[in-house]
Structure 1
Amino acid sequence: MKCFGFMTEPDKTLWLIPRDDAALYDALALLRSSFQYMDARIDPPSSIHGLTVGGMQAHCRKGGEIWAMGRPLIACMFLTPKANTLYLGKLAVKEGMRGQGICRTLVDHAASRAADLGLSVLELETRVELTENHRVFSRLGFTIVGTGSHVGYDRPTDFLLRKPISLSADN
């Protein structure tokens, strides 16, 4: 007798993680595992190594948002309102789930949040060395508009990317 296992589609519901939710621990674990591949490629090291649940809670207390996809988590991102822009940071998609449009869904949601907040630009930074990220975000409508350097570096270490957001009623 054969037993057939059925794969169920992962939960792809987007939800806002409350600052006191235990899911912050899951988001931190997802971020660390998703960013691990960068360790051998970027200089200076990623700020992810210093991120804590306490830091994530502080981000939320200061008006930032941490969005998650799925239960259990398969993706997450940080959103931070700034003057005229919504900063999209720490976007992570679980290994094995990449290439399925999840990043696009997160970016589309971030654009929707920007419009809801009356912010006309979505902004992010990516490390100079991560050329595959430049290509992904370019396909999602972002343009490189500047460079930045970490303290102590005399060369650009990251690119600033922006995407204009429509604030029209038919958004």
Structure 2
Amino acid sequence: MSDTLLLRAATAADAAAIAATIAASFEQYRGKLEPESGAFRETAEAIAAELTRESGAIVAERNGRMIACVMVQLMEDDLYFGRLSVVPEARGEGIARRLVEAVEDEARRRELAGVRLGVRIVLVENQKLFSSMGYVEISREAHEGFDHPTSINMRKALR
């Protein structure tokens, strides 16, 4: 078997594997984020429903096993991505960066103006990754029930 990384568009049949990949990837944040990440409430059924609408996902596979994924959806004239997930044993290989680049390529294919994301204020390393890829802060927002910002919205212009 080849150790080549394959990136491809997800189908509804991938929903259970996507849910499992998100769960494994976000486990390190359990009990560390306020409020807790919505990633812990993701289900295969909800993801399958998302994949049949305007939303989508890109998955990364190695040797037939999903090791990373990212969810995408149209937001105005931008492509928004969230739930960027890489399983712990595959980290440090640049897979997150490759997935973000794939999102950017998809946005260009759709002739969209840019790409957006949201990142928790406390996840400084994630912010550094996105900044290194050309994303800039465009706003901050508070999750429901909080009186201070908990999340940073970032954007990269493509045109």
Same fold (TM over 0.5): yes
Conserved? CA contact 2:26–2:40, under 8 Å: no
Farther off after superposition, 54-63 or 82-91: 54-63
Whether 1:126 aligns to 2:125 is no
Deviation at 1:69, TM superposition (A): 0.7
Whether 1:63 aligns to 2:54 is yes
Superposed structure 1 runs of 4+ greater than 2 Å apart: 8-11
Count residues in correspondence: 157
Q: What 5-or-longer segments of structure 2 have no aligned partner?
A: none
Paired position in structure 2 for 1:74: 67
Taking only the aligned residue pairs, the percentage that are identical comes to 25
| Distance across 2 between alignment mates of 1:10 and 1:44 | 37
- Find 2:39's aligned residue among 41, 44, 48: 48
Report the RMSD for the aligned CA atoms in angstroms. 1.3
| Distance across 2 between alignment mates of 1:18 and 1:102 | 20
Q: More strand per residue: 1 or 2?
A: 2
Paired position in structure 1 for 2:89: 96
Conserved? CA contact 1:148–1:159, under 8 Å: yes
TM (norm. structure 1) is 0.87
Structure with higher Rg: it is 1
Q: What 5-or-longer segments of structure 1 have no aligned partner?
A: 1-7, 167-171
Deviation at 1:9, TM superposition (A): 5.7
**What SS does the aligned partner of 1:99 have?**
coil
| Distance across 2 between alignment mates of 1:50 and 1:56 | 11
**What SS does the aligned partner of 2:4 have?**
coil
Whether 1:116 aligns to 2:103 is no
Paired position in structure 2 for 1:169: none
